[in-house]
Amino acid sequence: MIWMFNSLRTRILAVIFAGAILIAIDGSTVYPMLEAIQDTFAVNKSTVTWILNIEVIFIMLGTPLFAKLSDRYGRKPIYLTSAILFLLGTITVSFSQSFEILLIGRALQGLGAVLSVLAVTIIGDYFDETRGTILGAFGVVISLTYALGPAIAGFFVDINWHYVFMINIPVALAVVLLGYFLLPAGKPLQKHRSFDWKGMSLLAISISTLSLLVYSFKGNWLTEIAYDEMILFPLLIISLALFWWVERKTDEPILPIGLLKQRDILIGSLVALLGFLFMAGTYYYSTFARHAFNLSYSDAAYLVLPHTIAAMVATIIVGKLLDKLGAKPIMVAGGAIAVFGMLLMSYSPTPFIFALAAVIFAIGNAGILGQALYYLFLDETDKSKRASGQALLSICLNVGALLGGVIISKFLDFSASAAGVDSFRDMYFFLALSYVLLTILAICLRGRLFSNKKPAKG
């Protein structure tokens, strides 16, 4: 198979782009299946959402573990492990005959989905002068697949929802084979020291507790949380405190919190956490458009389409600019553009202005919360800690998105009334102010430190 690809970099791109398609198919086809799965297993709406929740939890659990292992034992064996786990999970969900087995399969898929984090790390290892361009192309592959996913799912779900999962079996198998034959073997990156099982255990408790706590809020305010769920608060605080204490004393922490001493890593982590929390407001574009302009579901969906297209085009441009300018100017400019887009969104009087605002925001958001964050972390970490650095970024992104989906929805009135529309306008105005904060944080970055680094060998 190697003879089909004439260079090491081409072989690597074949593997990571195939992996991007695999993960994007999974992420974009699940939502259209929820109702069919709910009917098949006779579960309620709250229960069926655990198809989504359990994957997110296991992604966050698996990311620091596999990232650390790849820093110790090399990228290829851990990438293959992730791909095999995803394949096993996909087979499990494809032939599941009970809801419990389906959840087990989704958990395996969550662990396997860590290969997307490893893919970014591999880009950092083998691409230097074109790193931004490759990150941009990686993002576009994911975006295009996400755009096609719902249509694919909608076609097959009417026949049998199992077929939607089955689509990914040959894709996952292809990723395993491509990874085995095309990825370079490399060498262990760190000496084998004792593994940080204490840190991993405490981090697992923290992530699981936070996830359960957040999901318990989805239908309730704090005053309505059940008493047996209130114990999650002290458990989360204690586990996080112990985790921080343990990680500061261990030689090889599971999560490199020591990187937070670097100013750009600390700022990047804050931007990722807060930015993905704020970005949750974009989940409700179509709802706002329907209520504000009296549109049908389909018309509102079409109105959001320019946002998706603009995001993909901006991702390519941002990738090219990152190679020339570095992360700081891209993030600062992106933040300023996003502020303008959100302000315009909050005042949009017509569907045209709404679509224009969404396009402007998509362009800005691609700058401050897109590939520039991954680029920043790759630039700020050496190869022996590169995957763990990406794990830190991934956890910040996921925690921010997890919190954002719950917190922002609590301030919205989803009725079609004038008050409901005003709640969305107020939310978008608040998000504009929030992006001002993100822009100020980006200004505080040190900026690019140019060097003569060469791409890694083998």
Chosen domain end from 142, 157, 187: 187
Check whether residue 206 and residue 290 sit in a common domain: no
Check whether residue 49 and residue 176 sit in a common domain: yes
Q: Would you say residue 362 lies in a domain?
A: yes
Check whether residue 170 and residue 71 sit in a common domain: yes
Distance of CA 45 to the CA centre of its chain: 24
- The pLDDT-based confidence of 4 (bands split at 50, 70, 90) is low
User: Has residue 452 got a pLDDT over 70?
Assistant: no
User: Has residue 429 got a pLDDT over 50?
Assistant: yes
Check whether residue 134 and residue 213 sit in a common domain: no
Chosen domain end from 187, 210, 242: 187
pLDDT (0 to 100) of residue 284:
86
Check whether residue 407 and residue 274 sit in a common domain: yes
Check whether residue 247 and residue 357 sit in a common domain: no
Check whether residue 225 and residue 280 sit in a common domain: no
CB within 8 A of 10, min separation 6: which ones? none
Q: Would you say residue 452 lies in a domain?
A: no
Average pLDDT, the chain: 88
Q: Would you say residue 449 lies in a domain?
A: no
pLDDT (0 to 100) of residue 154:
79
pLDDT (0 to 100) of residue 155:
81
Which residue range(s) make up the domain with 282?
Answer: 257-443
Chosen domain end from 251, 266, 284: 251
Per-residue pLDDT, averaged over 318-335, amounts to 95
Full DSSP string of 174-239: HHHHHHHHHS------S------HHHHHHHHHHHHHHHHHHHHHTT--GGGS-HHHHTHHHHHHHH
| 150: number of Cβ within 10 Å | 16
In terms of Cβ atoms closer than 10 Å to its own Cβ (0-12, 13-18, 19+), residue 6 is: exposed
Check whether residue 221 and residue 204 sit in a common domain: yes
Q: Would you say residue 104 lies in a domain?
A: yes
Residue 211 to residue 209: CA distance in whole angstroms: 5
Q: Would you say residue 180 lies in a domain?
A: yes
Q: Would you say residue 107 lies in a domain?
A: yes
CA dihedral of residues 212, 217, 218, 223 (deg, nearest 10) = 150
User: Has residue 29 got a pLDDT over 90?
Assistant: no
Residue 190 to residue 436: CA distance in whole angstroms: 40
Q: In this predicted model, what pLDDT tens digit does every residue of 177-227 receive, in sequence order?
A: 999 999 998 776 656 667 888 999 999 999 989 888 887 765 544 445 555
Check whether residue 63 and residue 109 sit in a common domain: yes
Check whether residue 219 and residue 341 sit in a common domain: no
pLDDT (0 to 100) of residue 347:
94
CB within 8 A of 144, min separation 6: which ones? 312
CB within 8 A of 54, min separation 6: which ones? 103, 106, 107, 110
User: Has residue 456 got a pLDDT over 50?
Assistant: no
Record the tokens describing residue 389, joined without a space. 């650095």
Q: Would you say residue 455 lies in a domain?
A: no
User: Has residue 449 got a pLDDT over 70?
Assistant: no
Q: In this predicted model, what pLDDT tens digit does every residue of 111-136 receive, in sequence order?
A: 999 999 999 999 999 998 899 999 99
Q: In this predicted model, what pLDDT tens digit does every residue of 47-105 receive, in sequence order?
A: 888 898 899 899 999 999 999 999 888 899 999 999 999 999 999 999 999 999 999 99
Residue 442 to residue 330: CA distance in whole angstroms: 9
Per-residue pLDDT, averaged over 277-288, amounts to 88
Say which residue, 138 or 230, is predicted with more confidence.
Answer: 138
pLDDT (0 to 100) of residue 44:
85
Full DSSP string of 87-112: HHHHHHHHT--SHHHHHHHHHHHHHH
Check whether residue 132 and residue 165 sit in a common domain: yes
CB within 8 A of 147, min separation 6: which ones? 28, 308
Q: How many domains does the chain have?
A: 3
Q: Would you say residue 169 lies in a domain?
A: yes
pLDDT (0 to 100) of residue 166:
95
Record the tokens describing residue 145, joined without a space. 């697949």
- The pLDDT-based confidence of 248 (bands split at 50, 70, 90) is confident
Q: In this predicted model, what pLDDT tens digit does every residue of 377-417 receive, in sequence order?
A: 999 998 888 999 999 999 999 999 888 877 887 788 878 78
User: Has residue 232 got a pLDDT over 70?
Assistant: yes
**Lowest-pLDDT choice from 91-100, 143-152, 197-206, 449-458:** 449-458
Per-residue pLDDT, averaged over 257-261, amounts to 90
Check whether residue 209 and residue 292 sit in a common domain: no
Say which residue, 226 or 320, is predicted with more confidence.
Answer: 320
Q: What is the CATH number of the domain that holds 110?
A: 1.20.1250.20
pLDDT (0 to 100) of residue 391:
94
